[in-house]
Every structure is written in C-alpha cells, then in structure tokens.
Amino acid sequence: MRNLLFLLCFGICSSLFAQAKAETVLETTKAWNGTSYKIPDNPSVLVLKIKIPTKDTLAWHQHPYFNVGYLLKGELKVETQKGETLLMKAGESLVELNEQWHRGINVGEEDIEIIVFYLKDKDSPITILQ
C-alpha cells in the first residue's frame, strides 16, 4: 500500500513538473558592445521595473557595475557617445555597459517596460549622470 501511494504521488508530482520548460534568454561573458563588465566583490542585488514614456530620451549616464535588462514591452534604442547602437524589441535582453556613457531612447509607439537586475556594492549608486 505504501509503495502504491508513493507511485501515485510520484506520478502526480512528476506530471506537474513535466509542464515546466526553461528557455535561455541570454548567456554571455561581455556587454552588448563586446566590452567587459564589472562585478563587485560582495554584491547586493537590486531589481527594478523601469518605465520610459513613448518617444522619451534618457540622459547620458553610466553604470559602475554589472546589470542586465529584459525588455517586457516597447522598442528601445541604446546608443553610446562613441556612436555604437543597439535596437531592442520586447522579449530581448542585454548586458548593459559599465563605465561607458550611453543613453536609451524609446523609438516605439508605446511606453517601454524593462526589468533591470543590478549587482552592485551595497552603498554605491546604480547610475551616474553626465
């Protein structure tokens, strides 16, 4: 009876987990423009959901440490002061640049929603404005 109960429970549980699937969204050792990124020795994790209004342009800024973004909604153009550009659409992700001036531009017809995961020093800012 105990074996039957175990098999029944195992069968139900395994069918629940059989539906789960994992898809790699991003795996990289570099930022989107091929440069290295910086990770602090004792990182603090911060996750933000950022909204950028339609046709808005962010100020020139840089990040002292590693962060990765996942675009939930909209179209985002990222450009560096060196002229490098990246166009992102919903469902895409990127590793942001460290210690390089860049900005984001909402080039789509709707507000942008992006989730950004930061690994930072606990007392450090996540963004430095130019």
CATH number of the domain where residue 91 is located: 2.60.120.10
pLDDT tens profile 17-72: 668 898 888 888 898 999 888 888 888 999 999 999 999 999 999 999 999 999 99
User: What is the H or E stretch that residue 4 is in?
Assistant: helix 2-17
* Average pLDDT rounded to a whole number, residues 65-92: 97
Residue 87 has pLDDT above 90, yes or no: yes
For residue 58, give its domain range.
30-129
> Does the pLDDT value for residue 77 go beyond 90?
yes
- pTM here? 0.80
100 located within any domain = yes
What's the domain count of the chain? Answer: 1
The strands making up 61-62's β-sheet, listed across from edge to edge, are 85-89, 75-80, 102-106, 61-62, 128-129
Per-residue model confidence (pLDDT) at position 39 = 84
For residue 126, the model assigns a pLDDT of 95
Considering the domain boundaries, does residue 70 fall inside one? yes
Measured CA to CA, the distance from residue 78 to residue 50 in angstroms comes to 15
In a domain, 49, yes or no: yes
Any domain includes 17: no
